[in-house]
Amino acid sequence: MSKNNAATAVDAAAARRDFYSRIDPANLAPLWEQLHNLVTRTPASACQAVHWPYREVRGYLREAGDLITAEEAIRRVLILENPGMRGQAAATTSLYAGLQLILPGEIAPPHRHTQSALRLILEGEGAYTSVEGEKTPMKRGDFVITPSWTWHEHGNETDQPMVWLDGLDVPLVAMLDASFAENTGELKAPLPQKNPGDSRARYGSNLLPVDYVAPTPASPLFSYPYADTLAALRTLAAGETADACHGYKLRYANPVTGGYPMPTIGAFIQLLPDGFATAPYRCSAGTVYAVIDGAVKVTLDGKEFVAQPNDVFVIPSWAGHRFEAQGETTLFSFSDRPVQEMLGLWREQR
């Protein structure tokens, strides 16, 4: 560049900066300064890979149990905050995760909201979540859903604490400005009550009510017991070779539509035989994982950690990773894959 051209470039840059500062008060900005950040060749996520060891979080949950009652807290939960998105109640860009504790004798009062929720039970047996007036007993490994706008409350009538992983589409619903919520205090009539086992009888027995027309895209079956899930996985493992990237992996399904249990959150379960090492894999859905049984060495971005039972970890969108099982391992996971699929966005690389 000649001296003259360099001077012209400096003048042009100064003129542009002057222009930007003059349009700024009019709520205007130049796209050409941001285009490369907005339209990236591959996902450029603020979401980071992160691992929450259960023994550490469990200690803090115990402290929370001494500090506040479930009733006062409404929900006694420690939010699992992604270190790349602190203060946003986000584990991934679109999804929230937390660990909830309910002590013997406690009740977490009924409410409903447009956010969809799932639970994976980590500790305890016999406490319940009531969904639309139906009490669902919970046990370690069970997967329980409370779809958008369903009334739900939790109670622990046992003598042991109960802990579960909550997953919600809180950041997604916030992004869409579509949060609505109600408490029973605003209701004129009491909530309808159903018999325990009602939804399993109607929708979870390879049967459906005659003339049934699904009122929403969410599953009317609220509970997917781990005993059934594990039996299914072990039957697959006994009969065929494992997928190189996934081991034996199934997705939880809405028995009415065959689709995902809830339209905004997909949930998955996979079994990795002892010593099984997966081939590198990545997909565009940032995913929250929890170890149910066994342990897994996770390798990604040159980092390595071993996740033990009840540990939770996050794999961000498009982060290539590998798993290596230490003992027969079952991994639960959830992501926004259904949303991406509906929008034609979901991608994977094996």
Residues that bind ligand 1HN (CB under 6 A): 75, 77, 96, 98, 100, 115, 117, 152, 154, 166, 168, 170
Of 100 and 136, CB closest to ligand 1HN: 100
Under a CB-based contact definition with an 8 Å cutoff, are residues 120 and 265 in contact? no
- First-to-last alpha carbon distance for the chain, in angstroms, is 46
* Helix boundaries (H) for 24-158: 35-38, 54-67, 70-73
Of 179 and 235, CB closest to ligand 1HN: 179
Residues 6+ apart with CB under 8 A from 22: none
Q: How far is the CB of 260 from ligand 1HN (least distance, A)?
A: 20
Of 184 and 235, CB closest to ligand 1HN: 184
Of 91 and 233, CB closest to ligand 1HN: 91
Q: How far is the CB of 166 from ligand 1HN (least distance, A)?
A: 4
Of 323 and 332, CB closest to ligand 1HN: 332
Q: How far is the CB of 124 from ligand 1HN (least distance, A)?
A: 15
Edge-to-edge order in the sheet of strand 181-183: 134-139, 125-131, 152-155, 107-113, 181-183
Distance CA 208, CA 212 (A): 7
Which residue, 252, 287, 230, is CA-closest to 145?
252
Residue 271 CA to its chain's centroid (Å): 19
Q: How far is the CB of 64 from ligand 1HN (least distance, A)?
A: 14
Q: How far is the CB of 87 from ligand 1HN (least distance, A)?
A: 14
Residue 48 is classified by DSSP as -
166-197 burial code (b ≥16 CB/10 A, e <16): bbbbbbbbbeeeeeeeeeeeeeeeeeeeeeee
Of 330 and 335, CB closest to ligand 1HN: 335
Of 90 and 117, CB closest to ligand 1HN: 117
Q: How far is the CB of 167 from ligand 1HN (least distance, A)?
A: 9
Please report, for the chain, how many H helices and E strands are present, in that order: 8, 20
Q: How far is the CB of 292 from ligand 1HN (least distance, A)?
A: 20
Distance CA 292, CA 13 (A): 57
